[in-house]
Amino acid sequence: MSMLHSRWVPRGRATAGALAVAGVAALTVALTAGPAVASGAHGGAGHGRVAGAVTPARDTPAGFYEGTDSWPITINGSAPYSEPAIGGAYGGYVGMVGNWAYRLGCHGKIAWAPANAAQANTDYTTYHEGIGAGAYWFAGGPGVDPHYNGTTAEAYDFGAEQASWAIGDIAKLTVPYPVVFMDVELPGIAPAVDNGWNTVYTSPCSGKVKSSFVATALDRADFNGFAAYLTTHSSYKMGVYSAPGIWQDIFGTGTDSLIPNTYEWTYTGDTSSLSHVPSGWCLSGEKTCAGFYGGQTSASAYALAWQWSGGGGTFNGFGDFDQIDTNRTP
């Protein structure tokens, strides 16, 4: 996802109550300030080094693929397509199908690249490479709910409503990947710099703070509502896109923060360099590795993807690059 990550420092907020919802899984991806236009080169029929590539992607171990997300990246050549800049098979694309700000009339942007989605689907359906196209929803927390009243019931309903919007938006597209990611983050983007997870605004688009505190129980109710509606009203599995520090800052460290049996996509740790591509969950030749959250690690069967380069603060000159483990595709 091409998003503007503000890299907020976790405040270590205390858990304000726990909302236990059994058997609900969740996940997502992000929003950026503008499109990153890149020029990639195709490596021919194989998946070797491409012209001008930094390092040929090794796609190791077996089942791991490189992909992109959100804003368009130019992928030249014919199918089967190669990952831009670094080579290797083009293993998938995950795009934003919608976001709370756009839906509520706050002029948010939709980071969906039709060409990249089509290329990913071609590689998946015709050449059996990667995951095809996937979807994420840029989620709003309780604080941007037009009907906010401070109750977990309303927060749950707002999460469910967002899931219904996401299902409707996905129905207009070709999205074979079975997990939908709920993008849970603190983007630093107006009108609500924290997407309403830690702050209540006077109205969704006002940017004016009504309260600087949101209980973790309300945040978790929003999350649970999205997950429950998605999994009971579609065939998609629930996933979440976030990072360890951001997750803790929103959900704390107590019961509300724990998401066992929940599919995850992380963007920690990331890099602006394309010189060391991932091998498994670590950059080759370096100590930088993917960090998951909510009580899970990279060893979990629910650790699906890693946005290892791109986004705010780690711009690499091309766009967002992701590592995807197809062995764990549900």
Report how far apart, in Å, the C-alpha atoms of 233 and of each of 42, 96, 134, 166, 229 are: 39, 20, 18, 11, 6
Asked if 12 contacts 216 with a C-beta cutoff of 8 angstroms, the reply is: no
Confidence of residue 173 (pLDDT cuts 50, 70, 90): very high
18 found inside a domain: no
- Would 46 be classed as within a structural domain? no
d(CA 281, CA 62): 13
Mean pLDDT of 107-111: 92
62-102 per-position pLDDT tens digit: 999 999 999 999 999 999 999 999 999 999 999 999 999 99
d(CA 294, CA 67): 24
Q: Are strands 133-138 and 90-99 parallel, antiparallel or unpaired?
A: parallel
DSSP label at residue 15: P
pLDDT in tens, 299-321: 999 999 999 999 767 899 999 99
CATH number at residue 140: 3.20.20.80
Count CA within 13 A, CB hemisphere, residue 38. Answer: 29
Placement of tokens 């029929």 in the chain: 45
What pLDDT shows up at residue 40?
Answer: 27
Percent of the chain scored above 70 by pLDDT? 82
- Give whole-number Cα distances, 328 to 95, 139, 302, in Å: 20, 24, 7
Q: What is the pLDDT of residue 312?
A: 65
Q: Are 248 and 286 in contact (CB under 8 A)?
A: no
Q: What is the pLDDT of residue 3?
A: 42
For β-strands 179-183 and 237-242, DSSP reports them as parallel
Total domains, the chain? 1
What is the predicted pLDDT for the residue at 125? 98
Residue 162 falls inside a structural domain? yes
Q: Give the span between the Cα atoms of 266 and 47, in whole angstroms.
A: 26
pLDDT at residue 60 in the model:
80
Residue 132: inside a domain, yes or no? yes
The Cα–Cα gap between 299 and 263 comes to 12
Closest CA to 238 of 255, 220, 253, 225: 225
Q: Where do we find the tokens 């609900």? A: 24
Question: Residue 289 belongs to what domain range?
Answer: 64-328
DSSP string across 45-57: TS-S--TT-SS--
Strands (E), 139-262: 179-183, 200-201, 209-211, 237-242
Give the contacts of 210 (CB within 8 A, at least 6 positions apart): 200, 201, 202
Residue 195 included in any domain: yes
Residue 6 domain-assigned (yes or no): no
Give the model's pLDDT for residue 1: 55
**291 part of a folded domain:** yes
- For residue 241, tell me if it sits in a domain: yes
Q: Which residues contact 203 (CB under 8 A, 6 or more apart)?
A: 146
pLDDT at 118 over 80: yes
Residue 245, exposed/middle/buried by CB under 10 A (0-12, 13-18, 19+)? middle
